[in-house]
């Protein structure tokens, strides 16, 4: 059986799909290990696979404030690439699966001649469009890390999103839309319930957005579940009586019991909500990621609404009321849910990785 190395970083929604794919391939009998920031050890262990920490890469934590400059340093970190190269020298891998934003690692793999697969946990139309053409792409090119060339050098780019929503352009090339890596049934709430969940990543101003969202639901006749995550100190928030604040909760357990979701446009949370047939109100927190594009895609599909993060509590409340009262949004979310569940993205992605290994003569595989 081949040896597979996964390379990730301590972010937010980028981690669950990568760990899900690693766990699925491990369950099929493959030897799998994940390389990432040291604080990710527990999450990787929970997925049932081995963990290797970065030792040369710059320290990074999703719970600490991060500027665009710091993020650019993370994505273009050549020392991370050296960590990957050193790990491969010590224990060769037949195939590497790398996060789509880690261009320092991709460059090391390309230079070393190691075949790699890129896992895209966001819209490809964003990654190869605004991201590549914008400040982040410019920062990579300044480091002599051409994003498009490094993506094109991959054996395959697995896009873990719904192709119906992804504003891609041009020929597919090595890009394959697998569908989101989620498993869900249609939500059946016992009473009108709203989930508030913004981000596990520390974005500037996130505490203020949280408070406005909580103020927005204060006089609504609904049950509200608020999952604050590690990036927010819940003790600094004023929660109305109808809100149950949880520092952490599995969305796979909460979403089947709710009617609508208020989020920040994080790709992972959005796809999971849509897979449950839940309409969304999106409040994008950061313009240098795909959150605004995700919000627009949801709104264009009539599966929800998007508002600026500085919207007043009154405006946010009106948006929530529309999601709960107008059947157009639940119908739009239901259509997307049926499409997501039909794709079975995780199965398709695991099959794709195995097929690549077989084509390269890397061994035989068993289900």
pTM of this structure: 0.92
Look up the CATH number of domain 193-342: 3.40.50.2000
DSSP state of 58: P
- Supply φ then ψ for residue 249, to 5 degrees: -160, 150
Q: For residue range 286-302, list pLDDT tens digits in order.
A: 887 899 999 999 999 99
Q: How far apart are CA 90 and CA 101, in angstroms?
A: 24
Question: What average pLDDT does range 210-233 have in this prediction?
Answer: 92
For residue 198, give the nearest of 206, 208, 187 by alpha carbon. 206
Give residue 367's pLDDT: 33
Strand ranges for the chain from DSSP E: 3-7, 31-36, 50-53, 95-99, 116-120, 156-159, 175-177, 193-196, 223-227, 243-246, 260-263, 280-282, 304-306
Q: How far apart are CA 301 and CA 232, in angstroms?
A: 31
Q: For residue 361, is pLDDT > 60?
A: no
SS3 253: helix
Q: How far apart are CA 278 and CA 274, in angstroms?
A: 5
Q: In what order do the strands lie in the sheet with 260-263?
A: 243-246, 223-227, 193-196, 260-263, 280-282, 304-306
Give residue 360's pLDDT: 56
Give residue 204's pLDDT: 80
Q: For residue range 30-45, list pLDDT tens digits in order.
A: 999 999 999 999 999 9
Residue found by looking up tokens 């739009």 in the block? 332
Q: How far apart are CA 290 and CA 256, in angstroms?
A: 26
155 close to 115: Cβ distance less than 8 angstroms: yes
DSSP state of 128: I
Structure tokens at 345: 């993205």
Q: For residue 364, is pLDDT > 70?
A: no
CATH class of 3-177: alpha beta
Question: What average pLDDT does range 170-185 have in this prediction?
Answer: 91
Q: CATH 3.40.50.2000: which residues of the chain?
A: 3-177, 193-342
């Amino acid at each position: 059986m081949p040896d597979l190395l996964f390379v990730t970083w301590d972010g937010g929604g980028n981690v669950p799909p990568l760990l899900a794919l690693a766990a699925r391939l491990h369950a099929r009998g493959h030897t799998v290990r994940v390389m990432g920031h040291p604080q990710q050890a527990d999450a990787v262990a929970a997925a049932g696979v081995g963990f290797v920490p970065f030792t040369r890469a710059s320290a990074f934590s999703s719970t600490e404030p991060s500027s665009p400059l710091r993020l650019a340093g993370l994505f273009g970190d050549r020392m991370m690439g050296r960590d990957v190269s050193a790990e491969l020298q010590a224990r060769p891998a037949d195939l590497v699966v790398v996060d789509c934003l880690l261009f320092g690692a991709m460059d090391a793999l390309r230079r070393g001649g190691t075949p790699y697969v890129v896992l895209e946990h966001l819209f490809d139309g964003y990654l190869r469009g605004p991201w590549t053409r914008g400040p982040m792409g410019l920062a990579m090119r300044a480091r002599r890390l051409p994003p498009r060339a490094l993506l094109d050098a991959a054996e395959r780019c697995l896009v873990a999103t719904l192709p119906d929503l992804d504003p891609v352009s041009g020929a597919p090339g090595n890009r394959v839309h697998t569908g989101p890596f989620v498993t869900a049934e249609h939500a059946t709430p016992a009473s009108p319930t709203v989930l508030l969940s913004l981000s596990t990543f520390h974005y500037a101003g996130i505490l203020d957005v949280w408070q406005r969202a909580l103020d927005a639901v204060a006089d609504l006749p609904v049950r509200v579940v608020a999952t604050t995550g590690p990036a927010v100190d819940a003790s600094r928030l004023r929660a109305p009586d109808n809100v149950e604040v949880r520092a952490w909760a599995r969305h796979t357990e909460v979403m089947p019991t709710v009617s609508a979701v208020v989020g920040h446009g994080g790709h992972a949370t959005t796809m999971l909500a849509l897979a449950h047939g839940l309409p969304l109100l999106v409040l994008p927190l950061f313009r240098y990621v795909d959150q605004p594009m995700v919000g627009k895609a949801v709104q264009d599909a009539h599966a929800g609404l998007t508002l600026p993060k500085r919207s007043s509590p009154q405006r946010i409340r009106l948006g929530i009321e529309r999601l709960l009262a107008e059947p157009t949004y639940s119908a739009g979310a239901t259509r997307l849910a049926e499409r997501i569940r039909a794709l079975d993205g995780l199965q398709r992605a695991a099959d794709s990785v195995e097929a690549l290994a077989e084509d390269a003569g890397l061994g035989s595989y068993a289900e």
